[in-house]
Structure 1
Amino acid sequence: MLKIVLPLLALLLPWSALAETGRVQSVELTEWKAVFGRIEARDRVPARARLGGTMVTVEVAEGSEVSEGQQVASVRDEKLELQLGAIDATLSSLQSQLETAQAELKRGESLLERGVTTAQRLDQLRTEVAVIEGRIGTTKAERNVLEQREAEGAVLAPISGTVLSVPVTEGSVVMAGEVIAEIGGGGFFLRMAVPERHAGFLEEGDEIRIGGAGAESAGKLAKVYPLIENGRVIADVEIADMATDFVDARVLVRLPIGTRQALVVPADAVETRMGLDFVSIAGTGGAPVQRVVVIGEASSVEGSEMVEILSGLSEGEELVAGHE
């Protein structure tokens, strides 16, 4: 019996390693379009000079982190210092006039008590004191205005963020409203321009692949802008933990632009030998047949790793596991 059984086992052993692993399936795969996006700040706000004059100090450089209200530079207008000096001289003169007028008023009150002067003269003295006090108040208000203009020489950051550019240097002559620094803040995102023929496939909230195949991360299509410029649709992509070392850096993005039918097999059903890819299928009578196939991209279908078959197989063919 052993002489009969052993040869039979030797013949049947390779076949016992065969097992059905499924069939060639036709599934719907997402079509991806590769485009480039740019890392941009959500807000790009210029810090402007509120005062014209000479740039005294520049306290930030490209790449500096600033907070809202932080001073980034200072501008000085020499004319304001001269005007303040003139105001101070006027105030000193008016103060002397006021002291003299108050002394005259006090003397007039004393003379009126003795009946030497008239009430009309006393009223004139009181009016002179009030006029001088009014002129002093006006001059102080003018001084406050000059002090405020001088304080506006401090250039403040309008938002918190990163300094993107500083187009001026110390010693530069600047005008009121001129840009001293540009600050990017409010978070960073990817902005991309997509050909308008794909606009109908873009929906906010879609998953976006960042980077090339094999080294991808996930993102979300946050906003699609309705205005088409130069045949392209502008869209923004949000990414968690996005590197923001370089603003305006280009990043490869893959967008879902439709679906297509494709033949797929499990990834472990493909064997590669001598530079060729083989898939074992059940032939006539159940005998295994190895087919040379051309494979496409790998993809995940319902949680399983699948490989697209471009040629060499037909839908519905039965797959079997190969053997050594």
Structure 2
Amino acid sequence: MRATTAFLCLLLAAAAPLASQAETLRLSLQPVTDWKAVFGRVEARDRLPARARLGGTLVELTVSEGDIVTAGQVLGQIEDQKLTFQLSALRAQTEALQAQLANAETELKRGEELLARGVTTAQHLDALRTQVDVLKGQIAALDAQAQVITQQEAEGAVLAPAAGRVLDVPVAQGAVIQPGEEVALLGGGGIFLRLSIPERHADALHEGDAIRIETTAGTAEGRLEKVYPLIENGRVLADVAVHGLPDRFFDARVLVRLPLARRETLLVPETALVARAGLDFVAVQDGETTTFRAVVPGERHEDKGAIQVEILSGLQPGDLIVTDPASLPVAVVGHD
């Protein structure tokens, strides 16, 4: 028995009255955008460390990873016991000088009375006044030193530099902290997507371009906000601003589609395709005759809520197609 070779060909379908009732579309080349799928990372616009201004022991830690904080909020408390001892010593010195000052003022008052009666000299009275002034100056200097130490104790409070979410707390309560050491890392100033794109696509990136983003909540649209001029390890960094991007997880990867090129192609409505025997057909109308023509569909594109299918082969510009040929009969002819 001879081997049978079957193929599907163009067919004459329905009668003219049926075809004339169907909606038709004249094909022409239409511009489409080629999208490249890459992954972007959810990042905070600002990453600000909350640092210790005072060295000492972290006696209190009030935040943990994931907490929402406000600007100026106290995140922890650092204590340095040496400052307490220094402040006590200054207060003791101040009390001693105040006692000397009280005695010197009494001597000065007595000297003024003696000078009025001519018992003492003006030179002795000037020496008493000088002693009083020196003691007052020493007390003022000790008060200034005490204010410095008091301010240092106040700087033991670790404050949030901005409002945002706590990303990392690298220390634990009871740890010994050095001045300038990071106590917590905050993410604030809003969030965005950071992309790392091969440098061969750098010329196709333009600030303001629309970007498609696929999240767990569905598809969103963002704008390419910034393209960084420095290329590192063959990749270009770019930031995408997205409204309503969830900020629960930072450094999470999100699928992003970038517009890299524009080209022209033939597009037909998705409803114009009819599947028969594993192939796709499009009804082409020529006068009063409707013929089903086998086509090779390509990528699907969304245009104003409608799905358009790219046709790679089988049609040409100027063809008049039936946009909803599902009701038209289709036959298959085989040849041995």
Q: TM-score higher than 0.5 here?
A: yes
Call closer, same or farther: CA 1:248–1:168 in 2, change over 3 Å. same
Match of 1:198 in 2: 201
Q: Deviations over 1:225-250 (max 9, x none)?
A: 11111111111111111111111111
Q: Which runs of 5+ in 1 are unaligned?
A: 1-11
Q: Alignment partner for residue 256 of structure 2, among 253, 257, 274?
A: 253
Deviation for aligned residue 1:215: 4.5
2:36 corresponds to 1:33: yes
**Distance in structure 1 (CA, Å) of the matches to 2:222 and 2:304:** 20
What is the 5 A alignment of 1:294-305? 294-300=296-302, 305=307
Deviation for aligned residue 1:301: 5.0
Call closer, same or farther: CA 1:257–1:247 in 2, change over 3 Å. same
**Distance in structure 2 (CA, Å) of the matches to 1:314 and 1:56:** 77
Deviation for aligned residue 1:136: 0.4
Q: Which runs of 5+ in 2 are unaligned?
A: 1-12, 330-336
Match of 1:308 in 2: 310
Structure with larger RCO (C-alpha < 8 A, sep 6+)? 2
Match of 1:224 in 2: 227
Of residues 151-160 and 289-298 in structure 1, the stretch that sits farther from structure 2 once superposed is 289-298
Q: Say whether the 8 Å CA contact 1:196–1:228 is kept in structure 2.
A: yes
Q: Given the two structures, how large is their TM-score scaled by the length of structure 1? A: 0.90
What is the one-letter code of the residue matched to 1:298? R
Of residues 302-311 and 193-202 in structure 1, the stretch that sits farther from structure 2 once superposed is 302-311
What is the 5 A alignment of 1:274-313? 275-282=278-285, 286-300=288-302, 305-313=307-315
Deviation for aligned residue 1:76: 0.6
Q: Given the two structures, how large is their TM-score scaled by the length of structure 2? A: 0.87
Q: Say whether the 8 Å CA contact 1:293–1:312 is kept in structure 2.
A: yes
Of residues 263-272 and 122-131 in structure 1, the stretch that sits farther from structure 2 once superposed is 263-272
**Distance in structure 1 (CA, Å) of the matches to 2:219 and 2:161:** 36
Deviation for aligned residue 1:310: 2.5
Match of 2:140 in 1: 137
Q: Alignment partner for residue 166 of structure 2, among 158, 163, 166?
A: 163
Call closer, same or farther: CA 1:302–1:125 in 2, change over 3 Å. closer
Aligned residues: 311
Deviation for aligned residue 1:302: 7.5
Deviation for aligned residue 1:118: 1.5
Match of 1:16 in 2: 17
**Distance in structure 2 (CA, Å) of the matches to 1:23 and 1:16:** 19
Match of 2:10 in 1: none
**Distance in structure 2 (CA, Å) of the matches to 1:44 and 1:13:** 67
Q: Deviations over 1:156-212 (max 9, x none)?
A: 111111111111111000100001111111111111011111111111111110118
2:128 corresponds to 1:125: yes
